[in-house]
Amino acid sequence: MMDKLEKILMPMAEAIGRNKYLIAIRDGFLVSTPLLIVGSIFLLLANFPIQAWTDFIANVQIGSSNLATLLSKQSDATFTIMAIFATMGIGYSFAKQLKTSGIFGAAVSLMSWFILMPYSITGSISAMFDANGAAMEVVEGAKATVTGVDLGWLGAKGIFMGIICGLVSVHVYAWVEKKGWVIKMPAGVPPTVVQSFAALIPAGIVMTMFFVINTIFVACGTDAFTFIFTFLQTPLLGLGDTLGAMVIAYIFLHLFWFFGVNGGSVVGAVFNPILQTLALENLNLYREVGVQGYTVANGAHIISQQFQDLFATWGGCGSTLSLLIAMLLFCKSKRITELGKLALIPGFFGINEPIVFGLPIVLNPSIIIPFVLVPTINIVVSYAAMAIGLFPPCNGINIPWTMPIFFSGLLATNWVGAVFQVVMLIVGVFIYMPFIKSMDKQYLADEAAAAQAEEEEDDINLDDLSFDDL
């Protein structure tokens, strides 16, 4: 069975791992990661779940604003415009994959994205105002259209459009450049000027192509952003926001790890854009309704990037922090106990390569069952707990996956979620226990046999020695 799985999974992992499009999407999202983490710190300060603190920052006036508003602005400069970062990052990364200019790849991606973006906002108005700001006439329920950019397209709603623009625009740019359709400058011209003129024709062709695309959509009475959001992004998010999708993705992720392939990179290249978009929608809802109104009933997604990072596993793939604790509590062999001591501290921060390759877990059939089972149970039980309202879904704040257990649950949900993490960690310990004890028994026998062999080598019987040949 293992041979059959290897024949299926290894080619799949290799195909995904070498796919330029998926690599560009994966690396492109990483551009925004440090900005989102820092923005999350300010967002936590602005929404820390202690009433005395929130009252304090709301009452501290600084000019015409207050401290709470000023602390929230950092999240506006990161989360609210995340699609811009993603579009630029994907364009840059894909350009590097195609051996062309990264900076111009990022530029044409963003240009194409903005060409397709609608510059009108339609919404309800409640009153007409005069030049002095006084209400002139109440017009409840009336509609008005103004020129501007809907901030929703700069955030979660525009991410999939950014992926498409980043990949298509750079692909066309690189194709034109490789055809040699560039302006070549004479020798002696500064390199920056040479690159700028060389990009002129490729960028112009990309702009013209997206102009035509935008014109077609407008002629049809819609726009590309609305079309993609309605017919692609919404169905994909609906599919990804299910327990079944999460379980299947994590089973494949751990099977890849079992064969020594980084399952997070392989599965994440496909699944993470969906999870990150769901997380951003959660964050927008959390900022809109606050702690009290943030519930599944109000539209919060249970499945999200933070759900994957903070409630599916603890200590890395396989939720191996439970395994480490079982190793230290129930095992006696030196091989396991010494490895457990070395890997425990990194395991608290989600780093488990020492245990994956040192125990080993890779290609070890005796540990594959709990390695896949424990994360699956974590996902199912955590999903159920959030669904019934035991504690709220993750609020979308970008908490690093290295944040230790309990603290991550506290920041992403509340104290109940933090305690729940600890309970599930303990459940994982007892699931791993019989499997690691079986390995420990074998290792003890191996160590005893090795010790006996060493004693026999050192035990020299002088009576058996013969000096006749000397």
Q: Contact, 339 vs 355, CB < 8 A?
A: yes
Looking at residue 288, its pLDDT comes to 86
- For the segment 278-317, what is each residue's pLDDT rounded down to a tens digit? 999 999 898 888 888 899 999 999 999 999 999 999 998 9
Looking at residue 141, its pLDDT comes to 57
DSSP string, 303-318: SSHHHIIIII-SSSGG
Residue with tokens 């700001």: 133
- For the segment 385-430, what is each residue's pLDDT rounded down to a tens digit? 999 999 999 998 888 888 899 999 998 999 999 999 999 999 999 9
User: Residue 271 and residue 324: Cα distance in Å, rounded?
Assistant: 28
Per the prediction, the chain carries an average pLDDT of 87
The pLDDT confidence band at residue 5, using thresholds 50, 70 and 90, is low
Looking at residue 360, its pLDDT comes to 85
Looking at residue 137, its pLDDT comes to 54
The pLDDT confidence band at residue 76, using thresholds 50, 70 and 90, is confident
Gyration radius of the chain's alpha carbons: 28
Q: Contact, 389 vs 413, CB < 8 A?
A: no
Higher-pLDDT residue of 290, 206: 206
| SS3 assignment for 74-97 | HHHCCCCCHHHHHHHHHHHHHHHH
On the question of pLDDT at 219 being above 70, the answer is: yes
Mean pLDDT computed over 176-188: 89
Structure tokens at 446: 């191996």
User: What phi and psi, each to the nearest 5 degrees, are found at residue 180?
Assistant: 85, 15
Burial (Cβ within 10 Å: 0-12, 13-18, ≥19) of residue 347? buried
Mean pLDDT computed over 327-356: 90
120, 125, 128, 130 alpha-carbon torsion, rounded to 10°: -60
User: Residue 173 and residue 207: Cα distance in Å, rounded?
Assistant: 10
Mean pLDDT computed over 453-465: 61
The pLDDT confidence band at residue 262, using thresholds 50, 70 and 90, is confident
Cβ neighbours of 219 (radius 10 Å):
8
Least confident of 42-51, 99-108, 219-228, 319-328: 42-51
Mean pLDDT computed over 90-108: 95
On the question of pLDDT at 21 being above 70, the answer is: yes
Looking at residue 4, its pLDDT comes to 72
Structure tokens at 360: 């080993």
On the question of pLDDT at 140 being above 70, the answer is: no
CA distances from 446 to 358, 439, 440, 457, 459 (A): 16, 11, 10, 17, 20
Question: What share of the chain has pLDDT > 70, as a percent?
Answer: 90
Residue with tokens 């919060």: 300
Looking at residue 44, its pLDDT comes to 81
Higher-pLDDT residue of 323, 186: 323
Least confident of 68-77, 94-103, 170-179, 313-322: 68-77
Eight-state DSSP code of residue 361: -
Nearest CA-CA partner of 160 in 238, 251, 243: 238
User: Residue 282 and residue 271: Cα distance in Å, rounded?
Assistant: 17
User: Residue 89 and residue 261: Cα distance in Å, rounded?
Assistant: 25
